Amino acid sequence: MISRRRFLGASAGGALGALVASACSTAPSGGGQTAGGKTLRVWDHFQPREDLHKKLFADFQKSGGAVVQYTVYNPNQQGQALQLAFGSKQLPDVFTTAGVKLPQARLRKDGWIAPIQLTKDDLSAMPADAFLNGFTHFDDKLYSLPMVNYRQYGTLTWYNVELAEKAGLDPERDLATWDGFRSAAAKIKSSGGDGISGWIAPLQFAQRLGEHVSDLAMAAGGAGATDPRTGAYAYGTDPYVHAIDFLASLKKDGLIFPASSSLDARTARARWSTGVAGLFFDGPWNIGVINDQFKVFLDKVGVTSMPTAEAGRPLIVYAPPKAGDYVAAATSEEPELVAKLLKIFTTEEVMLAETEQMDGMPVDLALVNKANVHPTYKKAAELFGKQIKLQPAPQVRNPGVSEVIATMKQVEPDLGGIVQGVLSGQLPDARKALTEYDQKLTAERERAIKAVAAKGVKVSADDWKFSNWTPGQDYGRDKYKTS
């Protein structure tokens, strides 16, 4: 049983209180001298950080920066809003790219984003390994500011402590494997009484479903979307097929909350917090949202690792280097003010305050141990530190790969769409659909390689191969020199 009742108190010593005490009563549209009455618009999906960001932006205005019009989106809806804003040339000055399926290399190519005018000195308090060409940088220019660590995944097993105890479960033991998870869900349903389900899921949110399956595929021995040894797309392989089969079995056995087909991540979490289901897959931000919006449920929340395919299998999750989170719109008329605003987030003081909002893991993972956070958030950080290994990224070794990625067109249905199709019964054969997806991706990559090569860029499918990749180990920067 985890210990609760301590975190985010209103003590004067808390990082958040020390940072924003002077701005607590200042609304974003309040008084203070601004830079010529200018306004910046900011869109993001950081729900647990909303109050902190409002206060930081109010303080920014008060110090003479600019008025900040701040909007926090549901990530399942932000992508559409950004697409509409881009089409009408009304992108916000600063935004995150949640819900936008296009990689940042493509956003740069298509004129969405521009370099952020921050220097190396401005970024000196942030870990150097958070910045990498092909991800946060292109041509050695900063295009996105990291707010979240790559060492995290969104398929932690969150459980209702009361329902787990009523079912007689030992979560660390009984939720460790797919079979155990399925059995535990059945016990929760049978012991919970009328209206209680074993598992609740965001079946309406295709992107999140794809992330869950990718994570679970690695819990079955997969290495990610492409096999680093061959460079081939790997969606049609056993780990992905079996991961979808596992989720489908939960639905087939009647263990899923009946209304899940109409839920995205936020609405699924909101329903879960009412006690209607025992188990929920989500990332570390789950506890931050619970604390912010469903505090009465806080003492009923437990977390453990996502389950592995079978007992005894070491859980290794491969994560590629991560693109940054905040980007600057190429259409912004205030690039200097944008840089001034984003510089707020580069200090250790603010990074610690961000950590205490318990959203995605901080860029500097060591801050979790310094922060005043819920025990489940610390446990998540410990799990990630043990389980996640850095995956090789072809665009780091050859910048020409970024040009290929920017040139590739989207292939539909993507992984999330395939998962939705299988769970709804519209796609009866998961392996067939996944194999066809591999084939379409391979053909599109070849087309993009030829198009980029025709412009004189040296790039080939071999750039996706890493002969010196060792399963279970981090692929650090030094490995690219010997590959």
Structure confidence by residue, pLDDT tens digits, 427-439: 999 999 999 999 9
* 6 inside domain: no
Q: Is 21 a residue whose pLDDT tops 70?
A: no
Q: What is the pLDDT of residues 268-327, one digit of tens each?
A: 999 999 999 999 999 999 999 999 999 999 999 999 999 999 999 999 999 999 999 999
**Shared domain check, 287 and 185:** yes
* 4 inside domain: no
User: Could you count the other beta carbons within 10 Å of the beta carbon of residue 416?
Assistant: 19
309-319 burial by CB neighbour count: b if 16+ within 10 A, else e?
beeeeebbbbb
pLDDT, position 35? 58
**Shared domain check, 310 and 339:** no
* 5 inside domain: no
**Shared domain check, 140 and 75:** yes
Measured between alpha carbons, how far is residue 437 from residues 10, 148, 198, 305, 462 in Å? 51, 29, 31, 29, 20
* 2 inside domain: no
Q: Is 29 a residue whose pLDDT tops 60?
A: no
217-242 burial by CB neighbour count: b if 16+ within 10 A, else e?
bbbbbbbbbbbbeebbbbbbbebbbb
**Shared domain check, 257 and 309:** yes
Strands, DSSP E only, in 137-276? 137-138, 141-142, 144-145, 156-160, 197-200
What's the one-letter identity of residue 370?
Answer: K
Residue 101's pLDDT band, with cuts at 50, 70 and 90, is confident
Tell whether the torsion through CA atoms of 449, 450, 454 and 458 is positive or negative.
Answer: positive
Residue 405's pLDDT band, with cuts at 50, 70 and 90, is very high
Q: Is 128 a residue whose pLDDT tops 90?
A: yes
**Shared domain check, 76 and 212:** no
* 404 inside domain: yes
Phi and psi at residue 55, in whole multiples of 5°? -70, -40
Query: According to the 3-state scheme, what is the secondary structure of 305-366?
Result: CCCECCCCCCCCEEECCCCCCEEEECCCCCHHHHHHHHHHHHCHHHHHHHHCCCCCCCCCCC
Burial class (CB in 10 A: 0-12, 13-18, 19+), 410: exposed
**Shared domain check, 339 and 289:** no
* 8 inside domain: no
**Shared domain check, 257 and 381:** yes
Structure tokens at 306: 């996502």
Measured between alpha carbons, how far is residue 412 from residues 109, 440, 446 in Å? 21, 9, 17
Measured between alpha carbons, how far is residue 134 from residues 108, 138, 330 in Å? 11, 5, 18
**Shared domain check, 397 and 263:** yes
For the chain, the distance separating the N- and C-terminal CA atoms, rounded to the nearest angstrom, is 46
Of the candidates 185, 246, 182, 248, the one whose C-alpha atom is nearest the C-alpha of residue 220 is 246
Distance CA 324, CA 80 (A): 20
Distance CA 343, CA 118 (A): 7
Average pLDDT over residues 231-256: 98
Of the candidates 299, 261, 260, 295, the one whose C-alpha atom is nearest the C-alpha of residue 280 is 260
Q: What is the pLDDT of residues 471-481, one digit of tens each?
A: 999 999 899 98
Number of domains in the chain: 2
* 190 inside domain: yes
What's the one-letter identity of residue 309?
Answer: A
Distance CA 47, CA 292 (A): 9
Measured between alpha carbons, how far is residue 169 from residues 158, 159, 166, 175, 194 in Å? 14, 11, 8, 9, 19
Q: Give this prediction's pTM.
A: 0.89
Tell whether the torsion through CA atoms of 447, 449, 454 and 455 is positive or negative.
Answer: positive
347-384 burial by CB neighbour count: b if 16+ within 10 A, else e?
eeebbbbbbbbbbbbbbbbebbeebbbbbbbbbbbebb
Containing structural domain, residue 293: 151-319+374-483
Q: State percent of the chain over pLDDT 90.
A: 90
Q: Which of 333, 351, 373 is the last residue of a domain?
A: 373
What's the one-letter identity of residue 349?
Answer: E
Q: Is 1 a residue whose pLDDT tops 80?
A: no
Distance CA 283, CA 172 (A): 17
Contact by Cβ (8 Å): 254, 236:
no
pLDDT, position 34? 56
Residue 36's pLDDT band, with cuts at 50, 70 and 90, is low
Structure tokens at 206: 């295709």
CATH number at residue 194: 3.40.190.10
Distance CA 97, CA 78 (A): 8
In whole angstroms, what separates CA 209 from the centre of its chain? Answer: 12
**Shared domain check, 415 and 336:** no
Contact by Cβ (8 Å): 301, 318:
no
Q: Which of 355, 373, 391 is the last residue of a domain?
A: 373
* 7 inside domain: no
Residue 429, C-beta contacts closer than 8 angstroms, at least 6 positions apart? none
Q: What is the pLDDT of residues 338-378, one digit of tens each?
A: 999 999 999 999 999 999 999 999 999 999 999 999 999 99
Q: Is 5 a residue whose pLDDT tops 90?
A: no
What's the one-letter identity of residue 105?
Answer: A
Distance CA 316, CA 318 (A): 6
Structure tokens at 66: 């600019």
Distance CA 209, CA 217 (A): 12
Contact by Cβ (8 Å): 284, 360:
yes
pLDDT, position 37? 81
Average pLDDT over residues 228-245: 98
**Shared domain check, 289 and 341:** no
Average pLDDT over residues 210-227: 98
**Shared domain check, 382 and 240:** yes
**Shared domain check, 155 and 293:** yes
**Average pLDDT for the chain:** 92
Q: Which of 353, 373, 393 is the last residue of a domain?
A: 373
